[in-house]
Amino acid sequence: MSIQVGDRLPEATFTVMGKDGPEQVSSDALFKGKRVVLFAVPGAFTPTCSEQHLPGFVGLADEIKAKGNVATIACTAVNDVFVLNAWAKTRGAEDSITMLADGNGDFAKSLGFDLDLSKFGLGKRSQRYAMVLDDGVVQYLGVEDSPPEHIKATAEKVLASF
């Protein structure tokens, strides 16, 4: 069963790139008492993720934060923190998007959004989704039906949800 609107996110630990290197951060530290937009991509540097999904959130970050009273916009992927950090730098996202590495896919699996892309040589990944969280509770959720789709989990859909 996948997470739904009204559900609380499960506890999780992510890896983020701190100023001195990789750091662990808990879901409570990220989401408790805050309004957060969280979106997931199947993989950094992949075509739809790099050309459409991430750029949409980078371009609308200020508007999303202002209109939705959002403290943080975060992106998660089943990639390591070094890949996500490099991706943020190359896509101009380092100042607007917090990158949350779910290196083993534990978070994606706990949400029911794990995806097996082994037949494409990509291994276990996350479905593409976007959600608005208020104190860790899902207020809005858009989940794509297949990895190349970018219809339901867009920055525009998140913005329209406020």
Locate 139 and state its tokens.
């207020």
Q: Which of 12, 30, 49, 64 is catalytic?
A: 49
Sign of CA dihedral 104, 55, 157, 147: negative
75 is catalytic: no
Concatenated DSSP letters of 96-151: T-EEEE-TTSHHHHHHT-EEE-GGGT--EEE--EEEEEETTEEEEEEE-SSTT--S
The C-alpha atoms of residue 32 and residue 15 are separated, in whole angstroms, by 17
Query: What amino acid positions are annotated as catalytic residues?
Result: 49
